[in-house]
Structure 1
């Protein structure tokens, strides 16, 4: 008894000769969706809205707030790779959003980002709060009215605070002044404080905050003022000072920081040049220099995984672990796996994948693995122009768009090629939907009609005379299904199958050694069979 029965369908393994493939793997798997093991058609993207007012759109983001619950599409163009993150606060009254890749790092609340008729975001503030450019100047005021009790040496600093309560780093310290402090609510020395002027720029600064240090101690809160106030007389006793200044190290992010990602515990991360940066937990405007980690190689992209933060570089990847930005640990595997494109870096859950010069790399807790090994040769990988890849995780697969098309790859299962092109992609977690930029249109992945698939089996080899195939059968959800049978390189049969009944093959190929079976169409196929006798068909 001799037959070919294919009841499970997987992707291509181009690195192997067709004779060495497993029966379930394909020589050709195009426009297929093999997630369930059956042979199904991938659906075409469906245009959902246009992108107006943006030249050559290259990045999109679905802002989920406003517009009567419909939200807004944000878009950037001219090749900008923009990374967007929502506020780490569970209930942010201003529905703030943060992004990098569009000049300096930026943020905007809903009323600024969505004002007007678009394109959006229609406004922004620079991310971070600047430090005052000069120190406060203090002098004794001659208006003391009570007998002094204690002499202390005092110094002052000033911070700026935004309309959203974001406090920035302090000014330089003032000159030191001797002041008399009284007790029992009596007024001691009065100190005249000349505060530094407000810094100009795209900030929403509303408050100056004054702190005082006595005898070299902490800077404690004295008072808040309108941002325009320049002079004030301090007569606050030591016992009435407030909390210590929390923002002594809350620097602005570097102006060239890109690659913004959200991490657990309210932390955000980004990078510039060879430097990785972390924000203060739940304070995305504050990026202390003390939290930065520098590497020997330039950072190309970063991705968050369950094992930690993976940093893909022009040399060795790094794995950063820790629960607080002040205690992040850096480890480097003993392998150079160069990353060739920021858009290729994808969180796959248990690992981060990215495009290297040799293939697709996976990094988690151990050594980086080349997950395209055995699927694509280095030459086949280079033919896909890996530097052009932008990708995302979709249904457990690495879904990549490159200059030339699209592929979906699942480790251990193979690769499938899809006739789709996109300038960029964005996965909307809330809607569980993937969106593409196609020209000046946003399209929903898998939203359109089924594409015509083509799946060709491996080469099955038989001794001469053993494969006298005379009949076949296709089990499908619907028909027609086009079936092609090839023997020793010649097309034996090319026919549309219209039902589940047995079909006949022409005679004359009993001596053929090499057989292949191919199916194409748009309907789901559960099995392909050819056999010597009808009794061998199931």
Structure 2
């Protein structure tokens, strides 16, 4: 009789140790099992410090500047921050946007990385507000009816129509503009007033004196105002761009000299409560507040029209971008939002009653998102939603992990999660592995294909430190009493030493340091034992382990 293990796999905690598939484990800790061997995971290696941040619990690598090394952005545990880069191709300002630190914010390379840190060191509130009041209009001082045309005797030959027949009813609005060229929604319109174009044989006085409203107060970067005019029920068109400090303007611009049509009619500020910022295809940013998901104008991350908002049955907990759309998880059922334009998004409820237990547990896995629910990990996407850990954890085992405390990341095709109950990696269909690693936050840098963790007050890179000490324990092998006269064993490893333990009926009967690939003898006296387990511990990669009743059975 021989017990043999290779093609090692992770744990399936829900199953009794006797019922585990042949190569799944009762214990799989600090292992990288993607190769099918017992390969030790490497510990995280420190790569940077985060001075000046108290209890850092949010991390983002801003990969611009600093001679190509970029900068580490971090926020304390008082915040729950989500970051998105500018959706504008070739953005010369390298703008970056984030939510979770009060009202939504934005910054540029020169602002965010000024000084010695911590970073980001400066920012503006995201969005451009409308001016607080409407412009005022008044007739110019030269608007005086001309005298009629008379003959030499003083008789009236012709009455001059005044205002001229070309006069049009006109109204004005004003918008604010930032140093980045971002334009906000218009002010309330002025009252109507007559104006007319200047020209030959046209009476003077056709211009309009416009009083400009002040700019809004706040941490904003408004440097200019734009004045727009509408004539006789048409569209607002640009009259002039003026300094932010301007308080008046004399409009003498003829109709054929007006500029472009007002584009920012509904470019509202984002809600101050906006959270969970993510970047979607086609230049769209998305976020949520209360039971609402909001979208920005395509390639206009400062503009968040109210008309682009979707309301849901329950408060939103988080959003994640997957290949099929936007997964929205709530305190009730999850949803899938699809659409290529922010003005044409449609929401579909996914038929599973699984609320999200932790916003930071929601992770884009490519074609679907995984998130922690009270019953386990839920996969949600275009194919629907289901609990994918039902065959891995019981509800009681899952609750012991404390799913409400999970923050997780996609790395190397795995769902890598940290919680009050420890650290684990889950791969659908392959079981789960646990790690002796703690972290308060993390960030996956796609450019470097590296997962960075916040450990203490520093940044560490997953898998770049020394090999960890692993432990793998086999399923429980039930052997008829008298048939288990195991006398020899062999461990095939890439290098040595490794430690082999044999457990019989719950009692450790052997702990042997294996120094090479040769056979070694086992102690006698346990032939009547029924339940056998094999445990391997070490930091060297193991390919297989064999325990047999005779040397001839060993390969």
Equivalent in the alignment of 2:270: 253
CA distance in structure 1 between the aligned counterparts of 2:119 and 2:267, rounded to whole angstroms: 29
Secondary structure of 2:404's aligned partner: helix
Equivalent in the alignment of 1:534: 551
CA distance in structure 2 between the aligned counterparts of 1:58 and 1:325, rounded to whole angstroms: 32
TM-superposition CA deviations, 1:372-419 (whole Å, max 9, x none): 111010000000111110000011111001013211111111111100
Equivalent in the alignment of 1:51: 50
Matches within 5 A, 1:364-403: 364-403=381-420
Equivalent in the alignment of 1:165: 181
CA distance in structure 1 between the aligned counterparts of 2:406 and 2:301, rounded to whole angstroms: 29
Distance apart, 1:494 and its partner CA:
0.8
TM-superposition CA deviations, 1:129-171 (whole Å, max 9, x none): 0110000111121436999451211111110111111000110
Secondary structure of 1:290's aligned partner: helix
Equivalent in the alignment of 2:158: none
> What RMSD in Å do the two structures reach over aligned CA positions?
1.7
CA distance in structure 2 between the aligned counterparts of 1:312 and 1:404, rounded to whole angstroms: 23
Equivalent in the alignment of 1:41: 40
Distance 1:185 1:289, change over 3 A: farther
Distance apart, 1:58 and its partner CA:
1.1
Secondary structure of 1:19's aligned partner: coil
Answer yes or no: is the 8 Å Cα contact 1:149–1:183 preserved in 2: no
CA distance in structure 1 between the aligned counterparts of 2:401 and 2:205, rounded to whole angstroms: 76
Equivalent in the alignment of 1:156: 172
Matches within 5 A, 1:4-43: 4-43=3-42
Q: Of residues 356, 379, 388 in structure 2, which corresponds to 1:362?
A: 379
Q: Of residues 185, 194, 197 in structure 1, which corresponds to 2:211?
A: 194
Equivalent in the alignment of 1:450: 467
CA distance in structure 1 between the aligned counterparts of 2:349 and 2:200, rounded to whole angstroms: 60
Answer yes or no: is the 8 Å Cα contact 1:152–1:181 preserved in 2: no
Distance apart, 1:184 and its partner CA:
8.5
Matches within 5 A, 1:301-450: 301-450=318-467
TM-superposition CA deviations, 1:163-197 (whole Å, max 9, x none): 11100011001101122235789787101111111
Matches within 5 A, 1:160-239: 160-181=176-197, 189-239=206-256
Answer yes or no: is the 8 Å Cα contact 1:274–1:294 preserved in 2: yes
CA distance in structure 1 between the aligned counterparts of 2:55 and 2:534, rounded to whole angstroms: 43
Q: TM-score, normalised by structure 2?
A: 0.94
Equivalent in the alignment of 2:312: 295
Gaps of 5+ in 2: 147-162
Count the aligned residue pairs. 537
CA distance in structure 2 between the aligned counterparts of 1:185 and 1:301, rounded to whole angstroms: 66
Distance apart, 1:46 and its partner CA:
1.4
Distance 1:476 1:184, change over 3 A: farther
Equivalent in the alignment of 2:149: none
Answer yes or no: is the 8 Å Cα contact 2:140–2:205 preserved in 1: no
Answer yes or no: is the 8 Å Cα contact 1:404–1:421 preserved in 2: no
Distance apart, 1:225 and its partner CA:
0.6
Distance apart, 1:200 and its partner CA:
1.4
236-245 vs 131-140, which moves further: 236-245
TM-superposition CA deviations, 1:446-483 (whole Å, max 9, x none): 12111110000001122233332221111111000100
Answer yes or no: is the 8 Å Cα contact 1:148–1:181 preserved in 2: no
CA distance in structure 2 between the aligned counterparts of 1:463 and 1:217, rounded to whole angstroms: 93
Matches within 5 A, 1:482-497: 482-497=499-514
